[in-house]
Each structure stands twice: as C-alpha cells, then as structure tokens.
Structure 1
Amino acid sequence: MDAVKVLLRRAPFTVVLVVVVWTVAILTKSLSTGPSDELIDRVGFGPDQFSIGHWWSPVSSMFFSGGLSGYVWATLLIAWLCGLAEMRIGTIRTAVIFVVTHILGTSLAAGMIALSMRTGDWWPTGLAVEVDPAVGAIGVGFALSFQLTPTWRRRLRVVLSLALVMCALYIGSMVDLARLFAVLPGLLAGAVVAGRKWHTGGQPSSVETRLLVALVVAASAVGPLVATVTQTANGPLSVLQSLFVGDQPDAIDLEYVCGDPSAVQDCQNLRALLRMSGVGSAILSIVPVLLLLVLAEGLRRGRKFAWWVTAGLNIALTWLGVLLLMSYPADALPTTTQDWIQLLVPLAQPLVIVVLLLATRKKFRVSAPPGTYMKFAVITLGTVVACCVIYVGGAWLLRDQFESQPGLHAILADLPTRFAPPGYLGLVDFAVVPTGWWSMHLHHWIGVVFWAVVIIGGLVTFRKAIVERRAADRSRARELLAEYGGSSMSHMITWRGNDYWFTPDGKAVIAYRVISAVALTTGEPVGEAESKSAAVQQFTQFCATNGWTPCFYSVGESLRTELSSWSSVQVAEETVVPLPGLEFRGKKWQDVRTAMNKAGNFGVTAQWTSYRDAPPWMTEQIAALSDAWLADKGLPEMGFTLGTLEELADDEVRCLVAVDEDRKVHGVTSWLPVRQDGEIVAWTLDFMRRSNSAFTGVMEFLIASMAIRCRDEGVEYISLSGAPLARRRDRGEKVPLLQRLLDVVGRLLEPVYGFRSLLAFKAKFQPQYRPLFMSYPDASALPSIGNAITKAYLPRITLRQAGRLAGKLIIRRYPR
C-alpha cells in the first residue's frame, strides 16, 4: 500500500494513464486481440478518419492497443518514459506533452498515408485504421532527454531513434510511423521546457562514439529478425526477411512437385525451402545477425579488426542483396515509387553503415594481443577443414539417404552451400537433397558447428586485452610505495595479479587488472602528490585508448570527491583504531579485556614475526589452520583485496601469532605496513585464521595485543581493513538504488562469508569508520564491472564450488 502511495505521489499521471488504458481494454473486451472492427473504426486514427467526421480519433486512439502484447509494451514505455519525466519536469508538463505529441504523431502519420494513397502508394501499408497508447510516450521521452546529462541524452535519443527507424523501415505500420513522427514535436517541447538550462555537452568521447556506432550496427542486425517475427511487416526493408526461413515443405511435397516436368521453377524453389527447414537451418539463417552482433561488441570495445570485418561484411551484404533481388529475372523493372523504395532502400542500409564506419574510423584503433588473430585463423581453418572432411565423408557413407545417390563430385559441389545461410541460396540449383534422418542432420548442422566456433572465437578475441607485463614493474611500484607511502590499503598493489600503469614522469603508479574489458584498480594511485592528482585522468585516457572501462575500486572519500563527475557506490567499510591514549577501560571494552585475561590463563602469548622468519613448526601450523578453515567453509578462497596465505610470504608483512607454552598455534593475524614519506605510520589487518580448538576470543586477543604494541611504539593507528559489502547505516544519507542492491547482495552472502558479522566484530574495538567506494564513469558498464569484481575476488572458482556456494545460500536462506 505504501508503494502505491509513493507511485501516486511521484507519478500520478503515469499511474492513472496505465490504469485507464487497461480498464478500457477490459471493459471493451479489447485486451487479447485489440478492439473489434466496429470499435476500431470509431476510435482509431487513419487517413480517412477526418473525412468521415471522426475528428476525435487522434485522442481516442491513445486508450487502445492492437492486442495483449501491444498493451504490455505500451505499459512498459509509458511507465519508463512518462514516469521518469514526471519526476524531472513535473506532472502537468508531462501530461500536456504526452497528449500533444500523440495527436501530432498520429495526425502526421495518417496524413502521410493519405498522401501516399493519393500519389501512387509510395509507402506500403496494409491497415487503414490503427490504435496505440504509446505514441505520446515517445514524444515525452525525447522531451525528457533535455533533462539528462549529455552522455545519457545522446544514448536515449540514439536508442529510441534506432528502434523507431528500424520499426518504421522493417514493419512500416501507421503505429510505427506515428511514433516516429512524435519525435520532432517531443524535441521541440523539450527545448521549450528546458529553456537555456540545457547544453549540448560537446562532441562525444571516443568511448561514447564507439558505443553509438555499435548500437547502429546492432540495430541493422536485429532489423531483419524483427521483420521475420512480425507477421505484418510491410516496411521498405521488410524484403530482407527473405533471408530468413518461413513455412517449410517436406520431402513428400518435393517429390510431388518435382515429378511434374513443367514445374521446374517450383521444384527449384521447393528444394531451396526444404534445405532451409529444421532447427539447424534456422540457426544458420541468423548467422549474419549473430556475426553483426559480435562485431558490434568488438566495435564497442574499439577493435580495429571489428571495424574492418564490419565494413567488409556490409559491402558483402550489399552485393548479396543485389544478387537476391536479381534472382527473379522474369520480373519487370519497378514501375511505382513503392517498388523503387523497396528495391533501393535495402541496398542503401549497409552502404549507410559503411559510410558511418568510414566517418568514425579513427575511433577504432585498439588491437588484440600479438598472435590473437593468427591463433583465431588457425582454429577457424582447422574447424572448416574438419567440417569439410566430416561432411564429405559422412555424405558419401550415407549416400543412400539422399533423394538420388550423389557422387563425390556432387557432394563436393554441394559442400560450399552448407556454410551459407539458406536465404542466400535462391539462385543455386540443388542436386543433393537429403531424405534420411542422419543425412538431414549432417546436412543441416555441419554449417552451424563451423559458425558457432567462428562466432564464439570472434567474441573471445574481442575480450582479450593487451597488457604490458614487465617483471620490473612490480619492483618499481614497491619503490614508489616505500618512498611516498599511500593509504591503508596501498600495500595491496604489491600483490600478484596486479598490472601496473605509471604516469609519464614515472612518479605515480596505479595497480589494476583487466577483466572483461574493465580496468579494475587496486585502491588509489600511489606516488608523488602532483603526479597522483594527474594520474586519474591520464589513466582514464589510457583505458579509453585500449577500449577498457576504468573502475577505481576501494578508494576513499577524497578520490571519490575528485571524481565527482563519475558515479560511485560504497563497497566496503573500513574500521580504524586511533592509538594515542588508547586504554581498554570501561564497559565497552569488556570483551577485549576478557580475551586478554583468557590468554593469560591459558598461557598464550602473541609472537611478532614475519612468515619467512617463523620457525617451521609455526608455519606448518599456520598453513594447516588455513587449510582447515577453507575445508570447513567448503568454498573458494577470495582474493583481490582479501589476502591469502601467499601474501604472508612478503618480507614487509608481519604476523602476530597466538602461541601457548606447548607451541600450539591458536590463531594468526597478518599486518600490512602503511607508510608516509618512507616511514611506517600504521599497520593494516589482513589475514585472520583461528584454530577450531582455540580459546574463545583469540582474535580479540591478537588485535588488542597489536594495538598495545603499536601504541607503545608511537604508531598513529591500526586499520582493521575493510569489510566488503557491509556498511554503517546511521549516516542519515539518502540511499540510492544501486546501494540498496549491494545491501541485498551482502545480506544474501552473509550466511556464507559473514561480511556483516565481521564488521560487527570489529566494532568491539571502538573504531572510526571510513567508507570505501567504487567509482566508475558510466552506469551502463555496471554489468561488466560486476562481472569483473566477481572474477577478481573468485578468480579460480570451479563449477563444483559455484554449485556448492549456490546450494549453501539456498539452504541457509530457506532452511527446512
């Protein structure tokens, strides 16, 4: 009930409009198949509605749709665009823009169709009257774009424009035209509402340009599928759906038609259709779409190879389109404007893509690591050779399962067609037609196997990144850390798994790792102050050049403020214990004092050592403790900003070990040095393990012992490190949606990894809390960033471990 009140308060027009549309649909029995013929003639918009006196049709048409799927899509569009617009420009303005743009869009579409009908039917359409409640939502969406940042303004406009143009050109109904015609009124209304408050934002960046070009290429790929799925496609580009399979005959139909000597052409057409039948051939039919989508991903990453292949493929599609249109020599030349449009527009689309690629070619300069494409070529060549051998050998062995037994020459002649989409085989005379089960599957699936390898291989090549790894880089990073110091997390840049980028003057370094085209940093830049301040922008440009998305992970408030134009979210809560004047007095330190007393009663002392210098009996027990801990969890050990046993071997890392009089290790903690100007000023807690038989409170004892030791040595503070996916909730801040989602993830993982329990444990030491953030430039990259972070923390997770993790989450969340 509270959620309904919030919706009504924040977006009343949107809620009321959706409720009215669905109520009208139910009351008029229009929900499943749209309004009846009699009703749609009265309420729909069309070229003849004004002439017969239905002046209200541009308004009444906004309350109906053509069927259930239309109502669902319209509801989603209205909820998204109108709901957001109400929050940005107000309810009254949203309602006015919606109504006005709907009226103008439907009127202009009806007028265009009327003009077409009177001047030669130059626009194909099969319906005289239509209805749609989402025309005004499109106008509102374009008006809303003026209220967004330049980046999201461009993206919203490009995505909506591509969708509208694609639907208009491929489907071509009056609804699609009405939505397209609502764009200009929406832009004008948005400019009026925004006044002088909006600005163009300048030219898009290289990353933005790559994304926009990729969207255009992806739209050109998806368009033919839209035409195929839509049974009423009439747009100028709907002819391209002939590249996809339709109704298929069977072998009996083929035998009957081909038995008639006078039906040679029909026989050839049926042979082609039969070769397109089946799941394998259907998959093979959409290979051009899948190739273009993979190439679009390569373009998004700025890959030079993707640019060349996309340009070549669009040139080839133009040529094949010409061949396809010439496959019916008996047809006369086009005589009407509509015929010329349907002839020329399909040829123009790939040419437009080529022109766009040429205009933006300088943005696509990212290369793959050396040898990537050679390896890809070898795999591709090996696959095609294997497929050819399998097909030729299999067809020869199964030659009695064909319409007529083919010879080796006929099988070899048929071989190239097995790798071509069936829609492109209209001119081919088929002599090898399978009739048996095995021959049909061989015939249909051999090409699918080949293209699956090519498509997956191409996608993998686009995900490979060039990262220059030099053995000396890690030593240089350690030297900069020793000279200039860093934050409490900075020592983690010396861990294995990091790559390093240095400023041009060599005085600052950023540790990062590239995962799924995301350059994920390990904390903040380290180095000389002035170089650090310039490092962030220079590193961002470095990432853009390589087609990566930069993400500064586990950074403090100061760097977050410096990146104020970026988005950010809290990913951990660091706890810091100030040491000057520290005393374990009062009730709030009761648990710590109890742990110290227990340690004395059990004869346990805290020994300060490095892992390398520790005696064998100690290191063996520490390793056994770690193994036992992992075995008890039954889950993969996390890495990235969480140290493991490997990181203990660092000579600069110290261990504080709880040992009793019998040399039994009860627990161990490791501490990372924190330096400023070459001097150690603090220590950061990293590795923690305890024995199953250790006394209760051994970890409290070790941390308290470290605090006392460091206090007496004049150390400023100790950091108990950050607790991932956990945070304080008493800051009184407005919690954004992404932060709430991370809170949910933390709550789900709590029974397994216990991050919130860890933060609660650290509260025993009365720490100061410092939030750690993740800063990123583009919210659209969040799925890739999330994937990169998951792989960084769990780099070696196996399928079995993933299943065990999922099982534990389910069992602990839904116990019997």
Structure 2
Amino acid sequence: MQKTIAFVGRYLATVPLSIGFAVLIVVTSLAAGTFFGPASEVTQKTWAAGVTTTVDAGHWWTILTAMFIPWDPFQLVAGVVFSLVLLGVAERLLGRRRLILAFFATGILGVGLGVLLQWLGSLAGEWWADGTSIDLTVDPLTPIVGSLLVASGMMGPLWRRRVRLVAFGFLIMFALYVGDTSTVYRLIAGIAGLVIGYLLSARRGQKMLWLKSSFGEVRVLIATIVLITAVGPLVSWLDPSGSGAFGLAGSFYGDIFPSASDISSLCSTATSQVCDDVKKLSALGGVGPIVQTFVPLALLLVAAWGLRKGRRFALWLGIVTNLAMIALALVFLGLVGSFVLGDTATTDDLPALQAIDIGEYAVWLGSTVLVPLAVAILLFVNRRRFALKAPREAFIRFAVIVAGAFAALSLIYIVACILTLTSLTPAGTTVVEVVFDVPRRFLPVTLVGVTGDVIIPPPSPTLFVFHWVGPVFWIVFTLAAFQLIASMEQRVQVGDHQRIRALLRRGGGGTLGWMTTWPGNVYWFNEAGDAAVAYRVINDVAITMSDPVCAPGAERQTVRDFARFCDSHSWIPVFYSVHSQYLPFFEEMGWSHMSVGEETLMHPQTLEMAGKSWQNVRSSLNKGVREGMTTVWTTYDELSRSMISQINAISEAWVSEKELPEMGFTLGALEEIKDPDVALMLALDADGRIAAVTSWLPMYRDGVAVGYTLDFMRRGDGSMPGVMEYLIASSALHMKELGVEVLSLSGAPLATAPVPKGSEAPAPTVMTELADFLAKTLEPAYGFSSLFKFKAKFNPTYSTIHMAYPDPLGLPAIGAAIGRAYLPSMSAKETVALVRTLAGK
C-alpha cells in the first residue's frame, strides 16, 4: 500500500496542470450550480455554447467558458477522472507549454467549429443541425479528448495506434448513436487533435507511414467495429432523446410492444393488415420477450470477443447475427412503411407526406440494414484472418448442449400447452398446431408477430413457460458459444516428444532446456524442423519455459518466428526464464523485459572447495563421511524396487507435511525424475537406506552431456543435518570427474543477486518493486529467499533469468497465467491455506 501511494504521489507530482484543471472544474461546477444537478437555464444562456448563444446572441466567450463547466454531477466526476488520467498522460508527453496550446487549440476548434457547422447546417435545412440548433453545451471533456489525441503523436507506434483506435471508436459511436452537440464537438476536437499531433510528430522527424498490421491488430480492429455497432444501438436505447443518425437502431431493444393507446391511434389510420400485425405483437408482450430482444446484442458481444482471438466460429456467429438483424429490421421497416405510406399510397401521394417521415425512414433503413450488412461483408471479406477452429470435442459438446436445450425446452412448452389446451387463444387450438408453433417460441418476437396466428396462453404457469423458453434457450446458446470460442486445440502431436529430445541432444535450450520435455508443454517447430519452443497456453498467454531450442546463431529468427506464430493465434507470447543473451533480440522488437529470478551456477572443472567460504560445505562433507554415508549416481530405471519405494515415501512425507500445493511448471516433482535421461544422486546412510535424493537434468552438446541442472530435492525424516549440502557437494565432485562443464543449482524465483562490494544497487523501477513485493509476500509460503540463501553456500556465480513480453498492458493477464502455470490444480482448501500462510495466521 505504501508503494502504491508513493507511485501515485510521484505521478501526481508530474501533472500539476492536470490537477489544476480538475480542481478548476470542481470550483466552476459549484459556482455555476451544476455540482448537484444539471445546468440551469440561466447558466446555459450565459456560459453554454450553441447556435442560440454563440451566434444568435453574440456571446462569443461561450466557446471558451463551455470548456470549463461540467453539465451535471456525472460529467463532473468524469471530468475529474479524465483530467487526472488522460490529461495527465498528455501533460507528461507534451510538457506544460505544449499542453496549454493543445488544450485551447482543440477545445476552441471542437466547440467553435462545431457551432459554426451547426449554424450553417441549420440555415441549409440539414436535418441533424436543424434539430439540434437550439441545444446548448458545456463540456470539459472536449479539450481533454483533443489534448490526448495531440499527445498520441508523441507515443510509440503500439500505444499511438491503441489510443487512437479506442478514442475514435468511442467518439464515433456516441456521435452516430447519441448525436447530441457534446458528442459531435468532442469528435471534431479529436480530429483536430489528430491533425495537430501529426504536425508535431512531423517536426520531430516522424513520417506518416502505412504500417502493415499484424494478424492480431487487424483482429482487434475488426472486433472493435463489431463491438461498436453492437453497443451503439444499446447506447441510443439508453438515451432515446438523442439525435444521432443511427439512433433509431435502439428501437429494437427493450419494451417494443405497443400499448393499447398506441394500437388505437395506429388502427385509426393504418390498414387492417398493419393493425392486425401490431395487435399480435402487443399480445406477445412480457418480461421474457423483452429480455429476448437483447439476444442479438449478447451474441455480437460474444462474437466480438471471439474475433479478437481469431476464432472461426465467432466469425460466422457475427455474420449470421448481423444478417438476422437485417431480417428483423426489414420486418420493422415493413410495419413502419405500411403505416407511413399506406397500402394504397401512390407516387402522387408522396409530396403530401412530411419530409421528416421520409427522412427518418431513410435514416432508419441505413442504420438498421446497411450497417449490419456492411459489418457482415467486412467479416466475410476478412474470413481468412479468422481461421482458428475449436477442437472437435468442444464443437460436439456445443452441439449436444444446444440441441439438448432446444429439445428439453420444446418438450416443456408442448406439455404445458397440452395441460391448458382448452384455454389457449385462438379457441380450438389443436396439439398439432401447438407442435408446429414450437419453433416460433425461439424466434425474435417481432418476426412472430407478423407470421400467422399467434397462440397465446391464459395467465397461468403456461404463460410463464410461453414467455421464457425462448430467452432461456438463447442464454444457454450464448454461454455454450462462449465456451466453444474459449476452447483451444493444445495437444502434443505424435512424435513431438522425440523431436524435441533430438534437438536438445544436439544442443540448445540452455541449462533449463530439459524442462521442455515435461508434461503440460506443447511444441512449436519452425518450418525447417531445426528449432523449437516449448510453451503452454493459459488464458491466451503463451508461456515458454526456457531458452529456445535451436542452433547457435538461429536464436533471433526463432524468437521472431514464434512471436509471429503466437500473433496468428491471438496469444500474448511470453518468454519466461530466458537468459541475458536473448535480451537484445527482444529490445529490437520493442518488447519489455524484467528479471524473474537468479540462476546459481557452479563450474566443476575449476571447483576447489578451499578457503573460509567453503567451511560449512566441507563440514557437511566430513560429517557425512564420519557417519558412514555414501552416494550413488544412477537413473530411475536402474533403481531397485526397494529404493523406488523409499523415494516415494520420502516425497509423500514431504508433500503431506505441507497444506500448500506442490508447485510445478519450472519446478519438477516425482514424475519428472522417471525420465531415463535424468540423473539421480542418492545419499545412503550407514544402513544403506536413502537419506536424501536429488535429480539432475542434462544439458547436451552434440550428444554429450556437458552440464546438469538441479531439480528434485528431498530429504528423509531423521536424516543427518546438512545432508543436502553433503549430497550437492558430492554431486559437484562427481561431475568434476565426469568432465561436466557447468552445474546449475537452478533458478531461484523472484530472487536478486547480491550487489558486489563497492557497487551501487540499480535504481528501483515499477517492475522491480513488483517483484520485490511478490517475493516478500510468497516467502512465508514457499521460502524462495531461504532457498536462494541455501544455494549461496556453494559460492556460485549468478546468471539472471528474465521474462520478456510485448505489451506492458498484458502484465495482469501474464501474472495470472504464470500463477496458474505454477499452481494449476490448487484446490479451495489449498487456496485458503495459502491465504492463511500469507496472512501470517
């Protein structure tokens, strides 16, 4: 908490202008009376911008004052938050002088140009300008948005693209679907900010380039378009008084069922067919059918999420849903058209119709038909970018769930109707008619209302079933679709284990490379088959667990090829536990990296256990000799049944003593020591029983083991104190005899190598502070620091291991994925135990 407060304090110290603006709008809201409610009529006429004040009344100053007064308490809260965050980001990038210029330039252009265009449009009779010319606006968000987009020109390519995509996505959505003056002024300010930002970046030597987008970026862009066109109608439904060009699309949602007064008014002028259709639609009203109107929105949200991941099913779900919305819109438009034009209208009658009716009808056609059609075409044209299919088993499960839900709900509806058959409307409805009516229970209610007679149960449990079988089915369908999209094909192909072992024996992978053979990993091989990366995907994060397995000189290309492979699957690639020699490759790619631990190394060929620093280790060696201990260098396959039984007992005793789960991922357990390539070093007491066991992972060069890495360590109860020091030292001496070049005591997670005497510790960063916090937090549970101190007894050299990742925004997801990699099967009881341990209870 203290570090968080310190970080916030450091950030706020760098954005004084943003803090000042946040304070200013609080003061102006109190002075103008908008702190507790919307702007009053006096405030609007005096300080708000618009055609009637800025142009007609000549209040030129309103272009400025409108930028400093929030409209209501909600806009005040948004203004304060946006000032401290978005305007603060702009201030840090632009500096104070340029921020002031950007703030006033974009604010004045947004408000001033917006009012001018609105005035000219109203004079020309343009429908939006004419309809909003009496609206007045005060809005501090306009210059904030403009300043942010100016600052986007100072950002790197990744953040520049993201900020502009998200900002303009929201600006355009609100302008089209809400369309009040504030949203349009913000959009103009955003465009002005984009131009000014480009001019500023051009002065710094940056050129306007059309950069080729990766698969992931294109998917994000298309998913954002689908998201905006899905949420936009909902926004217009929430603000039915808006003037957006696409605002009528919101009429699909909510209570679309006409009231008795609506029916009476419509039937007095409309044809009998239209009147009958509207009466049928009214009879279908209820909470369940209202819920069912939001089904297209839910499906499009799921589709947008899946499109971001590159899923083929999400592509077709988006296409079909948009086409279904077109059909739904045409039914609506058919009703409205019949009402506006009448069945007997001719071209001679058209001049007599009000222009606003024809205009609204055309706009409705564009927003409810042409927009979803354009989205469906966009998805179809880009279908090759969404080629990731779900596993066959997952699709079968989806089909069974959907078909089962449809059958079960249909049966419930049929049975319920049969029980009240004599009470159904229309009178005389038969069982056959009920059965044929079943499919219509799952269609949008507007389609049902204009397709034949509608069967309506009386107020009863049957009416409840009538209203809810459709919504329940679509809820099941949506959840099943979400599960299907989340399913991934992540299986080891036949022969992959043999291929990775063959590459490891040739060389590559580093001291931690043999961990790639462990269960849970899948493998990527390059086209030539001479380079590989082991990884596991958790929550769309592809985590590697060692250096790439490739020949010297091929590291850079291997890293880039695997990153492209992850991008094509919409995964976040994370190179975990890689050594320092790989960092230049990641820096070339613009990635970030951080230390995740220290590997402790010994060099057997130069090993001499002499001097004071080796005293504790020599004491353990001498004590073991005095007590008659011996060592055995072997493999699991060479063990006798008695020895296997003893090792199992030692391991089970060690695990049973802990409430916490055994960690995995880069920490091996009993199963991993059974590999025939893994060496074991056993310590036997004077009676020949196993007192301790260690396992050693090989590191090959041209088929010869030139290094070993410590993995599995267990000591028996009652064994000699210092037995692990005895066993590791004996292993090092034995490896010296074997000609082994390097002995790794493995990595210590979240550890930091000691600073050499006379050297200064590096300045802390956010990442190092985070690592320190995690290390201290997890120390009571897993003793990382204690393990690191234990390895320091062997006077090792240190090699930092790193985590490299492409996007700092992905750190929360990366952290969660790595946590699941280490503790994939943590139970609820173990979770409670971990929390209690961390709390010190």
TM-score, reference length from structure 2: 0.87
Between the aligned partners of 1:174 and 1:103, the Cα distance in structure 2 is 14
Between the aligned partners of 2:306 and 2:638, the Cα distance in structure 1 is 50
Task: Give the letter for the 2:481 counterpart.
Answer: G
- Deviation of 1:302 (Å): 2.4
Task: Give the aligned partner of residue 793 of structure 1.
Answer: 822
8 Å CA contact 1:172, 1:233 repeated in 2:
yes
C-alpha spacing 1:735/1:458, structure 2 compared with 1 (3 Å): farther
8 Å CA contact 1:122, 1:341 repeated in 2:
no
Residue number among 320, 326, 332 corresponding to 2:328 in the alignment: 320
Between the aligned partners of 1:435 and 1:234, the Cα distance in structure 2 is 40
Between the aligned partners of 1:446 and 1:733, the Cα distance in structure 2 is 64
8 Å CA contact 1:398, 1:438 repeated in 2:
no
Between the aligned partners of 2:599 and 2:726, the Cα distance in structure 1 is 20
- Deviation of 1:606 (Å): 3.5
2:378 counterpart SS class: helix
Deviates more, 1:37-46 or 1:655-664: 655-664
Task: Give the aligned partner of residue 691 of structure 1.
Answer: 716
- Deviation of 1:269 (Å): 5.7
Q: How does 1:375-524 map to 2 (within 5 A)?
A: 376-397=398-419, 407-409=430-432, 411-412=434-435, 414-422=437-445, 427=450, 431-433=454-456, 436=459, 438-466=461-489, 469-524=492-547
- Deviation of 1:85 (Å): 1.8
Between the aligned partners of 1:428 and 1:233, the Cα distance in structure 2 is 32
- Deviation of 1:281 (Å): 4.3
C-alpha spacing 1:191/1:533, structure 2 compared with 1 (3 Å): closer
Task: Give the aligned partner of residue 777 of structure 1.
Answer: 806
Task: Give the aligned partner of residue 355 of structure 2.
Answer: 335
- Deviation of 1:331 (Å): 2.2
Task: Give the aligned partner of residue 209 of structure 1.
Answer: 218
Residue number among 242, 257, 262 corresponding to 1:233 in the alignment: 242
Task: Give the aligned partner of residue 696 of structure 2.
Answer: 671
Instruction: Say yes or no: does 1:244 pair with 2:244.
Output: no
C-alpha spacing 1:261/1:171, structure 2 compared with 1 (3 Å): closer
Instruction: Say yes or no: does 1:178 pair with 2:178.
Output: no
Instruction: Say yes or no: does 1:191 pair with 2:228.
Output: no
Task: Give the letter for the 2:112 counterpart.
Answer: S
Query: Cα RMSD over matched residues?
Result: 3.4
Residue number among 123, 129, 139 corresponding to 1:132 in the alignment: 139
Instruction: Say yes or no: does 1:707 pair with 2:728.
Output: no
8 Å CA contact 2:284, 2:449 repeated in 1:
no
Instruction: Say yes or no: does 1:810 pair with 2:835.
Output: yes
Residue number among 616, 622, 630 corresponding to 2:647 in the alignment: 622
8 Å CA contact 1:327, 1:426 repeated in 2:
no
Between the aligned partners of 2:30 and 2:723, the Cα distance in structure 1 is 67
C-alpha spacing 1:29/1:711, structure 2 compared with 1 (3 Å): farther
Between the aligned partners of 1:582 and 1:533, the Cα distance in structure 2 is 34
Between the aligned partners of 1:760 and 1:792, the Cα distance in structure 2 is 25
1:563 counterpart SS class: helix
Structure 1: stretches of 5+ with no match in the other structure: none
Task: Give the aligned partner of residue 364 of structure 1.
Answer: 386
Could you report, residue by residue, the CA deviation over 1:343-365 in whole angstroms, capped at 9, with x for unpaired residues? 42332221331343355344233
Could you report, residue by residue, the CA deviation over 1:120-177 in whole angstroms, capped at 9, with x for unpaired residues? 3511549621211111121122212222222332222121111111111111111111
1:235 counterpart SS class: coil
Deviates more, 1:546-555 or 1:269-278: 269-278
Between the aligned partners of 2:701 and 2:69, the Cα distance in structure 1 is 69
2:310 counterpart SS class: coil
User: What percentage of residue pairs aligned between the two structures are identical?
Assistant: 34
8 Å CA contact 1:507, 1:531 repeated in 2:
no
Structure 2: stretches of 5+ with no match in the other structure: 342-352
8 Å CA contact 2:281, 2:449 repeated in 1:
yes
C-alpha spacing 1:620/1:466, structure 2 compared with 1 (3 Å): same
C-alpha spacing 1:203/1:523, structure 2 compared with 1 (3 Å): same
1:633 counterpart SS class: coil
- Deviation of 1:206 (Å): 2.0
Task: Give the letter for the 2:548 counterpart.
Answer: P
Q: How does 1:91-102 map to 2 (within 5 A)?
A: 91-102=96-107
Between the aligned partners of 2:773 and 2:295, the Cα distance in structure 1 is 39
C-alpha spacing 1:273/1:686, structure 2 compared with 1 (3 Å): farther
Between the aligned partners of 2:663 and 2:126, the Cα distance in structure 1 is 66
C-alpha spacing 1:203/1:24, structure 2 compared with 1 (3 Å): same
8 Å CA contact 1:286, 1:421 repeated in 2:
no
Deviates more, 1:172-181 or 1:232-241: 232-241
1:203 counterpart SS class: coil
Between the aligned partners of 1:659 and 1:232, the Cα distance in structure 2 is 84
Residue number among 652, 671, 682 corresponding to 2:707 in the alignment: 682
Instruction: Say yes or no: does 1:119 pair with 2:124.
Output: yes
Could you report, residue by residue, the CA deviation over 1:72-125 in whole angstroms, capped at 9, with x for unpaired residues? 223333333221122222121112211221111112232333334333351154
Q: How does 1:519-598 map to 2 (within 5 A)?
A: 519-564=542-587, 565=589, 566-585=591-610, 588-596=613-621, 598=623
Could you report, residue by residue, the CA deviation over 1:453-512 in whole angstroms, capped at 9, with x for unpaired residues? 322332333334445743322112212211224410011122223222333333222222
Could you report, residue by residue, the CA deviation over 1:528-587 in whole angstroms, capped at 9, with x for unpaired residues? 224444322233333344444433222111222212222323333222233444344555
Task: Give the letter for the 1:755 counterpart.
Answer: F
Task: Give the aligned partner of residue 349 of structure 2.
Answer: none
8 Å CA contact 2:145, 2:186 repeated in 1:
yes
Between the aligned partners of 1:296 and 1:169, the Cα distance in structure 2 is 20
Could you report, residue by residue, the CA deviation over 1:163-193 in whole angstroms, capped at 9, with x for unpaired residues? 1111111111111111111122101211222
Deviates more, 1:647-656 or 1:109-118: 109-118
- Deviation of 1:433 (Å): 4.2
Q: How many residues align?
A: 807
C-alpha spacing 1:698/1:399, structure 2 compared with 1 (3 Å): farther
Task: Give the aligned partner of residue 350 of structure 2.
Answer: none
1:658 counterpart SS class: strand
Task: Give the aligned partner of residue 317 of structure 2.
Answer: 309
Task: Give the letter for the 2:355 counterpart.
Answer: T
TM-score, reference length from structure 1: 0.90
Task: Give the letter for the 2:402 counterpart.
Answer: T
Between the aligned partners of 2:113 and 2:569, the Cα distance in structure 1 is 46
Task: Give the aligned partner of residue 748 of structure 2.
Answer: 723
C-alpha spacing 1:471/1:247, structure 2 compared with 1 (3 Å): closer
Task: Give the aligned partner of residue 291 of structure 1.
Answer: 299
Between the aligned partners of 2:660 and 2:398, the Cα distance in structure 1 is 35
